[in-house]
Amino acid sequence: MTDENFLVMEKSIPVPEGAKTRVTTDLDFDLEGKQISYLRIPYSRNTSAWGRLLIPIVQFKNGDGPTMFISGGIHGDEFEGPVVLIKLIQRLKLENVQGRIIIMPAVNLPAHLQSTRLSPIDNVDLNRCFPGSKTGSVTQVLAHYINDFIVPKADYVLDMHSGGTSLDFAPCVVMHQLEDKEIEAKTLAAVRAYGAPFALYLKEGDPDGLLDTAVEKAKKVFLSTELRGGATVTKDAVDIADNGLCNLLNHFGVAKANRSKYTRYKNKTTTTLLRTADESCFITAEDDGLFEPLVNLGDRVKAGQPIGQLHHITTPARRPFLLKANSDGVFICRRVQGRAEAGDCLAVIATEEEWEDL
């Protein structure tokens, strides 16, 4: 669907002298109680002079305690986070909160409304433009506000992702290898408390521009998720996400949170710990073709084992290209679409680690 509003490229607009941001909100971060409000970003366009983008933001504040910032939908084609967060907003009782919870259920709302990964307004990936810019396009202005006004308030940040349109993950909670060993230990404890089937312990290969990096630079505890994907919503992913979110709220002592009445998933007592040590874990198409996985998500594979093949339908005499695992590990991610082009990520094999080795 094409909306001419979304085709307007937002040009850089100067910030009034002395102003720290172009974003406004009537949410008072110091106020006790539950507030449901918006971040308002100036968005002038042909059909809306003096128009604003209204990005939902919700705060629960009850007495003294830690602050947790929870975001979903930073990529607009990932729906598991928004589903779980909208349910929490409606279910959580203020008297069960101890401290402050700031929730943005669909951070990149324009992208969410179009089911796209990037913002359709300025074609920017919100999770590749941190720390943002107060004089940039709407997505950069939003990143700047989160970086400068929300992250500093938070002790803990959970950013909920999934594979979006093109990838499908075995459900993982995700953390980074950190230089600050005290924060790494706190993050590791939270990852175990989350209770997902898998935990991914990443050495980020391309950290620039991520919210993750912005939060970690600010010396706050940061967790992310990769919960299925395919630009759809599945019961298993939502249940794991809801269970993990409530576990974290309880673990951090910021709320006594009960799971949704529809959630059936119970904690894994031992989450399988995985690591993507280097580029060889990512299997990339080197030719166009039709991708056939030969294993299922979550399957254990051996080095050299065929995990998929790329067929050449237009040249039936040509043999398929066989894709093999580069190491022993778990098949944790696959391409969703059958057709693939050279350069597409087809699969990820993560190696299994012992918790004690960390």
112 binds Zn ion (CB under 5 A): no
Query: Which one of the spans 67-75, 137-145, 168-176, 190-198 is the region binding Zn ion (CB under 5 A)?
Result: 67-75
Q: How far apart are CA 74 and CA 81, in angstroms?
A: 9
Q: Which of 109, 154, 103, 145 is nearest to 257 (CA)?
A: 103
By CB atoms closer than 10 A (0-12, 13-18, 19+), residue 39 is buried
By the 8 A CB rule, do 52 and 43 touch? Answer: yes
Q: Is the dihedral of CA 99, 140, 203, 219 positive or negative?
A: negative
Beta carbon of residue 258, minimum distance to Zn ion (angstroms, whole number): 27
Q: Which of 105, 95, 107, 82 is nearest to 34 (CA)?
A: 95
Number of residues that bind Zn ion (CB under 5 A): 3
Which of 22, 61, 75, 192 forms a contact with Zn ion (CB under 5 A)?
75
Q: Which of 288, 331, 296 is nearest to 313 (CA)?
A: 288
Residues 196-235 that bind Zn ion (CB under 5 A): none
- Residue carrying the six token digits 């951070």: 107
Beta carbon of residue 161, minimum distance to Zn ion (angstroms, whole number): 3
Sheet containing 321-324: give its strands across: 321-324, 306-311, 289-293, 339-340
CB nearer Zn ion, residue 151 or residue 310: 151
Question: Which residue type, as a one-letter code, is found at position 186?
Answer: K
Query: Which one of the spans 30-38, 68-76, 278-286, 323-331 is the region binding Zn ion (CB under 5 A)?
Result: 68-76
Residues 77-96 that bind Zn ion (CB under 5 A): 78
Beta carbon of residue 164, minimum distance to Zn ion (angstroms, whole number): 6
Q: Which of 21, 16, 17 is nearest to 134 (CA)?
A: 21
CB nearer Zn ion, residue 97 or residue 160: 160
Q: How far apart are CA 250 and CA 92, in angstroms?
A: 12
CB nearer Zn ion, residue 133 or residue 165: 165
Beta carbon of residue 263, minimum distance to Zn ion (angstroms, whole number): 22
Beta carbon of residue 75, minimum distance to Zn ion (angstroms, whole number): 4
CB nearer Zn ion, residue 61 or residue 161: 161
3-state helix, strand, coil split of the chain in percent (to 5) is 25, 30, 45
| Phi (first) and psi of residue 321, to 5 degrees | -85, 120
CB nearer Zn ion, residue 156 or residue 169: 169
67's tokens: 């602050």
CB nearer Zn ion, residue 161 or residue 176: 161
Query: Which one of the spans 69-77, 143-151, 175-183, 251-259 is the region binding Zn ion (CB under 5 A)?
Result: 69-77
Query: Which one of the spans 70-78, 151-159, 201-209, 217-225 is the region binding Zn ion (CB under 5 A)?
Result: 70-78
161 binds Zn ion (CB under 5 A): yes
Beta carbon of residue 70, minimum distance to Zn ion (angstroms, whole number): 15
CB nearer Zn ion, residue 92 or residue 159: 159
Residues 259-298 that bind Zn ion (CB under 5 A): none
Beta carbon of residue 304, minimum distance to Zn ion (angstroms, whole number): 31
90's tokens: 């409606």
CB nearer Zn ion, residue 82 or residue 289: 82
Q: Which of 263, 261, 276 is nearest to 330 (CA)?
A: 276
Beta carbon of residue 198, minimum distance to Zn ion (angstroms, whole number): 17
How far is C-alpha 197 from the chain's CA centre? 17
Q: Which residues lie near Zn ion (CB under 5 A)?
A: 75, 78, 161
